[in-house]
Amino acid sequence: MKYGILPGFFDIIPEDSKDPWRSIHIWNYVEKVLRETAAHYGFLEIRTPILERTELFQKSTGESSDIVTKEMYSFVDKGERAITLRPEGTPSVIRALIERQLHTGPSNLKLFYIGPMFRYERQQAGRYRQHHQFGAEAIGNGSPEQDVELIDLLLTSYRKLGLSNLKVCVNSIGDGESRQKFRQALLAYLEPQKEKLSAESRTRFETNPLRILDSKDPADREIVARAPSILDFLNSECLDHFQQVQALMGELGIAYRVEPKLVRGLDYYNKTVFEVMAGELGAQNSIGGGGRYDGLVESLGGPDLPSAGFGTGIERIIQTLLGQQAPCPAIEKPWLYIIALGSEAKLRAFKILHELRSQGIPAEMDFSDKKLQKMMQRANASQAAYSLVIGDEELKNNCLSIKSMQKGSVEKVSFEEIAHFLKSMVVPNS
Ligand code: HAM
């Protein structure tokens, strides 16, 4: 189609029978559960703009990240400003925190957001150029409890949505000092085998060697399998923090695996990093991930506030949910479909329609003046629980035949009894 949607983008429509994960009622349900769970954990919602200054992401997401080097939708606006469609939510939240002085309140700030992110990624199943994230950021607390509260919120959100069989991986990438020592050891290990690395990893050898650890290339993986472990380079403070994180996860009964090669692709992390994987997602199996980023607020011009957070892809949540056949409410169908025959009946039906809706009853009416048979077909297609035909007879006798669309059975009611009848018969979607 000449004016078709851009590659990597998708519409979320009322009901997508081909790709059910793109049906809006599932998105609304998932977002509702995520919002409620975040609120239970004391996180408050924040909405930041989708456009930000390009420099914000260069400085925070990082000059050596794939996102900044290859994937940003960046352009110059009419005011000659370099701007970017946000590729992730964390930098915007921290920008807003500093700019609006959100950290000056008495307690730590715990914020969450839901919204679209933009990354010009290679086309692949499960990878979109506009994806949507539920993210949470806890600013001002450096304790292991804070890390585990975030992991717990993420996993509780998944559990409330009925997801199971998720793998949780954790690691510590230490602080700058520990990482510097590890970097040297890693480079020394890789140097003699550098030529065998993939082209991408050879570039990373110069720019960000830690990222070679999570390369998907089979040759890289073989080399990396025997690489030194970052956990052997943690100083005592980072090691202690990581041990406490693990102990607390144990206390909460969270099953996890320590994965020393987990480094994550954004530059701001330190100490704890984590990722949650879902088998149903295929190659793009990361459903959510995050970690601690103690230096970020200060590096963007704010005070020294230790912080941590996570982001989880809503597309991937929904695909996992459907893949695992977790229960999910169906789209709300009308309780009643009204067909009116003749102008007097049509006016009466129109008023009833209004009255039912104002009582919270989802109802539909056919305005088309088509033949009865045609209108009955539409009533069927609407999947309403009941249908009602109103003509001269019904008006005269105040006696209506309300028909169950599923059972085919018919009940007699008066005009005054319709709402009561429907409320007693229809079980609404939860
Ligand atoms: P991230 O790992 O880049 O982290 O993204 C978080 C989640 O977003 C991923 O686990 C995945 O589910 C989803 N996601 C990312 N890219 C795509 C894509 N192209 N298509 C579909 N889903 C995608 C962050 O963005 C950090 N801001 C998380 C964070 C918050 N760390 C600390 N605070």
Strand partners, 402: 388, 411
Furthest C-alpha separation in the chain: 95
For 139-168, give the DSSP string: ES--SHHHHHHHHHHHHHHHHHTT---EEE
Q: Return all residues near 360 (Cβ < 8 A) that are at least 6 apart.
A: none
- Give residue-wise pLDDT tens across range 149-190: 999 999 999 999 999 999 999 999 999 999 999 999 999 999
In the predicted structure, residue 253 carries a pLDDT above the cut 80: yes
- Minimal-distance CA residue to ligand 1 atom 26: 311
- The region of weakest confidence among 45-49, 106-110, 230-234, 387-391 is 106-110
Could you tell me which residue, 1 or 213, shows the higher pLDDT?
213
Mutation pick for ligand 1 pocket among 286, 307, 314, 320 (CB with most ligand atoms within 8 Å): 286
Tell me what pLDDT residue 284 has. Answer: 80
Tell me what pLDDT residue 107 has. Answer: 76
H or E segment to which residue 58 belongs: helix 54-59
Closest-lying ligand 1 atom to the alpha carbon of residue 312: 7
Give yes or no for residue 62 CB within 6 A of ligand 1: no
Tell me what pLDDT residue 420 has. Answer: 97
Q: Is the dihedral of CA 38, 43, 48, 54 positive or negative?
A: negative
User: What CA–CA distance (Å, rounded) separates 278 from 320?
Assistant: 7
Q: How far is the CA of 341 from the centre of ligand 1 (A)?
A: 55
Mutation pick for ligand 1 pocket among 133, 151, 280 (CB with most ligand atoms within 8 Å): 133
Q: How far is the CA of 185 from the centre of ligand 1 (A)?
A: 29
- Minimal-distance CA residue to ligand 1 atom 18: 127
Tell whether pTM > 0.85.
Answer: yes
User: What CA–CA distance (Å, rounded) separates 98 from 80?
Assistant: 24
Q: How far is the CA of 72 from the centre of ligand 1 (A)?
A: 14
- Minimal-distance CA residue to ligand 1 atom 32: 309
Tell me what pLDDT residue 108 has. Answer: 81
- The region of weakest confidence among 123-127, 193-197, 261-265 is 123-127
User: What CA–CA distance (Å, rounded) separates 96 from 356?
Assistant: 45
In the predicted structure, residue 430 carries a pLDDT above the cut 60: no
8 Å CB contact between 34 and 134: yes
8 Å CB contact between 65 and 265: yes
Distances (CA, A) of 211 to 15, 200, 220, 274: 40, 10, 11, 15
pLDDT, the chain, mean: 95
Residue 301, token pair as written in the block: 């011009």
Q: How far is the CA of 278 from the centre of ligand 1 (A)?
A: 14
Give yes or no for residue 71 CB within 6 A of ligand 1: no
With CA atoms as reference, report the closest residue to 407 among 390, 389, 425, 419.
Answer: 425
User: What CA–CA distance (Å, rounded) separates 174 from 272?
Assistant: 7
Give yes or no for residue 90 CB within 6 A of ligand 1: yes
Q: For the range 121-128, what are the long-range contacts, defined as Cβ-Cβ under 8 Å and sequence gap of 24 or more?
A: 121/8, 121/71, 123/7, 123/8, 124/283, 124/284, 125/282, 125/283, 125/284, 126/281, 126/282, 126/283, 126/284, 126/315, 126/316, 126/319, 127/8, 127/284, 128/8, 128/9, 128/10, 128/315
Tell me what pLDDT residue 400 has. Answer: 96
Q: How far is the CA of 310 from the centre of ligand 1 (A)?
A: 8
- Give residue-wise pLDDT tens across range 22-71: 999 999 999 999 999 999 999 999 999 999 999 999 999 999 899 999 99
Give yes or no for residue 128 CB within 6 A of ligand 1: yes
Give yes or no for residue 140 CB within 6 A of ligand 1: no
Tell me what pLDDT residue 411 has. Answer: 96
What is the arithmetic mean of pLDDT over 238-255? 98
Return the residue matching tokens 């088998």.
Answer: 279
Give yes or no for residue 311 CB within 6 A of ligand 1: yes
- Give residue-wise pLDDT tens across range 396-406: 999 999 999 99
In the predicted structure, residue 80 carries a pLDDT above the cut 80: yes
Q: How far is the CA of 164 from the centre of ligand 1 (A)?
A: 20
Give yes or no for residue 288 CB within 6 A of ligand 1: yes
- Minimal-distance CA residue to ligand 1 atom 21: 127
Q: What angle do CA 104, 31, 23 make, to 5 degrees?
A: 150
8 Å CB contact between 317 and 161: yes
- Minimal-distance CA residue to ligand 1 atom 4: 311
- The region of weakest confidence among 107-111, 156-160, 299-303 is 107-111
AA identity, residue 200: E
What is the arithmetic mean of pLDDT over 282-297? 94
For 72-135, give the DSSP string: -EEEE-TTS-EEEE-S-SHHHHHHHHHHTTGGGSSS-EEEEEEEEEE--PPPBTTB-SEEEEEE
Distances (CA, A) of 310 to 121, 163, 253, 292, 417: 20, 18, 20, 9, 52
pLDDT band at 333 (very low <50, low <70, confident <90, very high): very high
Give yes or no for residue 66 CB within 6 A of ligand 1: no
AA identity, residue 260: P
8 Å CB contact between 170 and 338: no
Tell me what pLDDT residue 283 has. Answer: 79
What is the arithmetic mean of pLDDT over 90-103? 96
